[in-house]
Chain A
Amino acid sequence: MTPTTTETLRSRAGGLKLWLERYPFLPALIIVVALLALNGAFSPNSLSYRSLTGLLSTYMALIMLAIAQTYVVSAGDIDLSAGATLSLVNVAIVVLMEKWGGGAGAVVGAMLSGILLGLICGVINGIVVATLRLQAIVATFATSIFFTGIALYVMPVAGTPAPALFWRTYGGRLLGLPFVFYVLAALALLLFLLSRTRLVTQLLAVGDDQQAAYQTGLPVVLVRVKGYALCGLFSALAAFCLTGDTASGDPLVGGKMTLYSVAAVVLGGSALAGGWTTVVGSLLGALTIGLVNSLVFFMGTPSEWQNFVQGLAILLVLMAGVLAGRRARA
């Protein structure tokens, strides 16, 4: 399609579609704002600076994991081992920090090793899925079992505490602002820088039409491996946030988060088929899951009904996310 025809199509389709096309995360943003308002209506206290900071520091790990998932989904792949990678990095850094004495040097050293470990997990997934051409869903499930095995080897039972320096920093304040705000700012900067790279465009091209991307001369296999590596990197960052929040190591902590990360990607308005994704949407999608959970609590739902109402609400927003996303792409 030539630029001119796109222009005319856009002007004919009206303003809303143009907005959706430029900011595909808008529906997710509306859902987040609505959920915030509902939370406030049921419990004004839930909108206080303090509880919002708490919500952010609790769900920062899921935000990171959802963003990790977004990069593989961009290329039309999926990573069911993201949660296992998170667990592995979580136990590895806790053990390393303890072993190296728990000082500032130990924390930095452990985090660097954690990033390296995340990247290695990602590259393994990339090789298995893109180079060996196994089906992504089953192959990354198999690697997730493998990674969980290594995590259990590193720390057989949950409970080893992280050094105080680590979680005090994450949960504390810096220059009068909660530390998690700096994490968010750094994340925003990182996402902005990444969005300028060729890799993100290449991932989307591969996800949109693998054959066409190949015929234009893109190294499709390499691009997909890089996508998985990026996923591993963000899974490691997710592990840091989780460790800061829980202050301990748990070899099975991430298992349940994998499917939530996929849900958050869809909630954000990305297409699971690839080629059309939004990292900001995934961030909002992860927040949506957090806000739904807190809303169900603040509404005074009886405790035994909470999981059911949460499940139902998430199913409904998932449907809304898919429908709105399709409207935007149509």
Chain B
Amino acid sequence: MNVAISFLKKPLVIALLLIVALLYLGESLSPGFASADQILRLLIVASLLGIVAAGQNVVILGGREGIDLSVGGVVSLSAIIAGNVMNGADGGILPAILACLAAGAFFGLLNGLGVTLLRIPPLVMTLGMLGVLQGLLVVIRNGIPSGRAAPGLSAFVTQPLVLGIPGIIWLWIAIGLFMAFMLNRTVFGHRIYAIGSNEHAAYMAGVPVRRMRIGLFMISGMFAAIAGLCLLGYSGSSFANVGEQYMLSSIIAVVFGGTSLAGGKGGYTGTMAGALLLVILQGILTTVNIDESGRQMVFGATLLLLMLFYGRGRAMRA
């Protein structure tokens, strides 16, 4: 009995049960919602969010109030860079990938340096960086026309690749496996949990805390960059601030996945389910015929309700 209860209390299990319940709800509200095509479409959208959330996840796991508010800016920037580098030609895909990863890593590096060397709280540092990135977007957009996605990239994101499933979903699965391997089986992964749960102890045990933390922000920047590239493939061309929506929803996906914002506890498998949960919820709300105000009210209230299922803080005790 106790085993059953503790199993049901696992964040991943909660998220999966909620996903099934929401799919059932969606199907009963508008028949065809849970059809294979629709589920694939939801998975594509979820994979974009999930890739951003992967970076957010490691930064949050690393503790010391780790959070990356600049991911939305990096996603938008990367979508523009990718569009301009490839400009509709398949040959430009590889250079675009490299340019995006470099940009993501660069801004992650700056975040990491500010957080470690100057000891600026991550929330403040990445918030300031978000402002810089948004300014940079305006500069780039004024200088050059926004580019287009290469047909190859669009096909990778939207068309079936293997077993009728688009490439981006395979990419997401690969990222999920990679993250599970990194977090559970590598020294680097174990060190993330170490600095996240007790930075001082980790430092005393010889973990290069600073370099680790800089690395985490760079990983976050690079994942956001990959998501930006894929987002360009999804939408065809980049438009103003496409990435903004990912800033807080990536954090919510991580929380719904059972990773504590305090750091040191959680994993990526739950975050994947969290991202999917969030996307399905939004999908249902767009399907249902209510106006924007009602949609937002229901969305906000549902998010609060769902949060109650997850890690609530501990009550004060003397």
Contacts and interface: CB of A to CB of B under 8 A. Distances in A.
Q: Specify whether A and B are partners.
A: yes
A326 to B, nearest CB: 7
Contacts of B119: 322, 326
Interface in A290-317: 304-312, 314-315
A141 B143 contact: no
B48 to A, nearest CB: 19
Interface stretch (B94-102, B125-133, B174-182): B125-133
Identify whether the interface residues of B are mostly helix, strand, loop, or mixed.
helix
A307 B133 CA distance: 9
A308 B141 CA distance: 12
B301 interface: yes
B303 to A, nearest CB: 4
A220 B318 CA distance: 12
A165 interface: no
B187 interface: no
A148 B293 CA distance: 8
B135 A322 contact: no
Interface string B197-229: 000000000000000000000000000000000
The winner among A144, A307, A311 for most chain B CB atoms within 10 A is: A311
A211 B128 contact: no
A311 B131 contact: yes
B293 A315 contact: no
Nearest to B248: A141
Nearest to B262: A135
B242 interface: no
Interface residues of B, number: 54
Contact of B135 (A137, A151, A156, A308): A308
A306 B312 CA distance: 43
Contacts of B114: 319
Interface string A130-170: 00111101110111111111111100100000000000000
A263 B121 CA distance: 12
A2 to B, nearest CB: 25
A322 B294 contact: no
A34 interface: no
Given A146-B296, A156-B292, A214-B316, A315 B128 contact: yes
B5 interface: no
A312 B315 contact: no
Nearest to B67: A137
A154 B218 CA distance: 43
A150 B133 CA distance: 31
B316 A220 contact: yes
A315 B129 contact: yes
B162 interface: no
A127 B69 CA distance: 25
A38 B221 CA distance: 35
B293 A156 contact: yes
A61 interface: no
Nearest to A221: B316
B74 to A, nearest CB: 14
Contact of B312 (A132, A153, A311): A132
B171 interface: no
Contact of A304 (B133, B139, B308): B139
A310 B136 CA distance: 10
17 contacts: A132-B308, A137-B261, A141-B303, A142-B252, A142-B301, A142-B303, A145-B299, A151-B293, A153-B293, A259-B69, A262-B123, A304-B138, A305-B139, A306-B138, A312-B131, A318-B128, A322-B118
Interface of A: 80, 128, 132-135, 137-139, 141-153, 156, 210-211, 214-215, 220-221, 259, 262-263, 266, 272-273, 304-312, 314-315, 318-319, 322-323, 326
Q: Which 5 A-B pairs have the closest CB atoms?
A: A146-B300, A308-B135, A149-B296, A149-B297, A315-B128
